[in-house]
């Protein structure tokens, strides 16, 4: 079956530090990959996505590249801000077998001033 594994958290960084949150996946087909973010007190919001190998998703300074050879979709940001403090979820969706999302564990990011 499908699964997503994220790096263990929580992650604490200083403002302007470089961020990487690792995500690897297992899928039987050709999934689309997503990063969702959950700010305190809010729902999950789509941050970025990639639908095929070598695609790069980007939004708000965050990037992730769909790497089929390493089955990874690591999230990166060059310079984090305090406002980036949130929980980040990696997820996949098998486009040929329904619309369910399979999520990773979530990674809590705290950015200190």
Partner 1 sequence: EPEVTQTPSHQVTQMGQEVILRCVPISNHLYFYWYRQILGQKVEFLVSFYNNEISEKSEIFDDQFSVERPDGSNFTLKIRSTKLEDSAMYFCASSQHKNTEAFFGQGTRLTVV
CA dihedral 80→44→74→14, nearest 10 degrees, is: 20
> Is residue 99 within the footprint of partner 1 (CB under 8 A)?
yes
Residues in contact with partner 1, shown as a per-residue x/- string from 39 to 58 under the rule CB under 8 A: --xxxxxx--x---------
25's tokens? 């996946």
> Is residue 7 within the footprint of partner 1 (CB under 8 A)?
no
CA dihedral 28→88→17→64, nearest 10 degrees, is: 30
Q: Burial level of 24, CB count in 10 A (0-12/13-18/19+)?
A: middle
Point out which span in 21-29, 60-68, 73-81, 104-112 binds partner 1 (CB under 8 A).
104-112
Contacts of partner 1 in 66-85 (CB under 8 A)? none
Contacting positions for partner 1 (CB under 8 A): 4, 32, 36, 41-46, 49, 89, 91, 93, 95, 98-106
């Amino acid at each position: 079956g499908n699964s997503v594994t994220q790096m263990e958290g929580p992650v604490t960084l200083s403002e302007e530090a470089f961020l990487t949150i690792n995500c690897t996946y297992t899928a039987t087909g050709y999934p689309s990959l997503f990063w969702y973010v959950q700010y305190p007190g809010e729902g999950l919001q789509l941050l970025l996505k990639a639908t095929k190998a070598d695609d790069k998703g980007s939004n708000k300074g965050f990037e992730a590249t769909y790497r089929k050879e390493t089955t990874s979709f690591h999230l990166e940001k060059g310079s984090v801000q305090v406002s980036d403090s949130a929980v980040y979820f990696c997820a996949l969706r098998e486009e040929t077998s329904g619309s369910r999302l399979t999520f990773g564990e979530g990674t809590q990011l705290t950015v200190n001033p």
